[in-house]
Amino acid sequence: MRSVTPTSSRTVTEINMAVTADHIRDKIIKELAAVHVDVEDTSPNRCAASFKVLVVSSQFEGKPLLQRHRMVNTCLAEELKEIHAFEQKTLTPEQWEKQKSQ
Amino acid sequence: MNSLIRSTARCLRAGAAVYLPRQADGRVLAASARLLCAAADLQKDLGNMVKKDKVVVFMKGTPAQPMCGFSNAVVQILRMHGVDDYAAYNVLEDQDLREGVKVFSNWPTIPQVYFNGEFVGGCDILLQMHQNGDLVEELKKLGIHSALLETEKESK
């Protein structure tokens, strides 16, 4: 007779860890063709997932700030349901180069 | 702390369904239908709220006592520009408002700023507009003369 090892608790933990900095970074790169992404986990504690992101993408060219931010919000729609606080900076590659040289 | 309050509110809401009055034939009015009506009313109210005043802010806490760093930043920026007369709604006082305004604006976080009934953005956007001079321009369109223009004049 074989005993069944309960794996449900471990699976639940893995699901809760889904919204991580890496996950966010990968999703942004994939969906917004970002050339550079910085994701900072600013969560003060485990209970309040907070992130600060810098996204550099040519898809932002010619788009006003609000539209750029909405693009990022749409990309992370599922994740944002779990995230408590979210800061974002959206730059075109040109703006980013200029910022770096300052 | 917030999650405790949230889960309590959720329990209370779920519990309310148990005490629904039964109709004569024993049918129970669906709680979900009533909740949906309340939610739709809120969306309509929000439509009026954002148009009633030139500058409207949905925030955590009040301008006198902000309860969140991002909400505080919005209050400080507006104050810097001499904008003291605006409508501020405290989402911490009303969980339905807190969730409803996110649906209304299609924006996931608080604070949220509206100019002339149009969604401007959150703290990030307001800060960038303040830094690049756009905020002074937008306030001018609202007929609000930014206090920062005065200081610029004085320094020249």
Per residue in B69-95, pLDDT (tens digit) is 999 999 999 999 999 999 999 999 999
**Structural domains of chain B in order of their starting residue, each with its CATH number:** 33-154 (3.40.30.10)
> Are the Cβ atoms of A66 and B128 closer than 8 angstroms?
no
What is the rounded distance in angstroms from the CA atom of residue B31 to the CA atom of residue B13?
10
Residue A49 CB contacts under 8 Å (≥ 6 apart), including other chains: A19, A41, A43, A82, A83, A84
- What's the confidence (pLDDT) of residue B25? 53
Using a CB-CB distance cutoff of 8 angstroms, which residues of chain A are in contact with residue B2? Answer: 47-48, 84
> Are the Cβ atoms of B124 and A85 closer than 8 angstroms?
no
Per residue in B91-116, pLDDT (tens digit) is 999 999 999 999 999 999 999 999 99
> Are the Cβ atoms of A47 and B109 closer than 8 angstroms?
no
What is the rounded distance in angstroms from the CA atom of residue A71 to the CA atom of residue A53?
13
Distances (CA, A) of A52 to A43, B133, B144: 10, 23, 32
- What's the confidence (pLDDT) of residue B78? 98
Please check whether residue B151 touches A, CB under 8 A.
no
Taking chain A (102 residues) in runs of 10, the rounded mean pLDDT of each run is: 50 55 95 96 79 96 95 95 92 94 88
Dihedral (CA of A83, B117, B131, B154) sign: negative
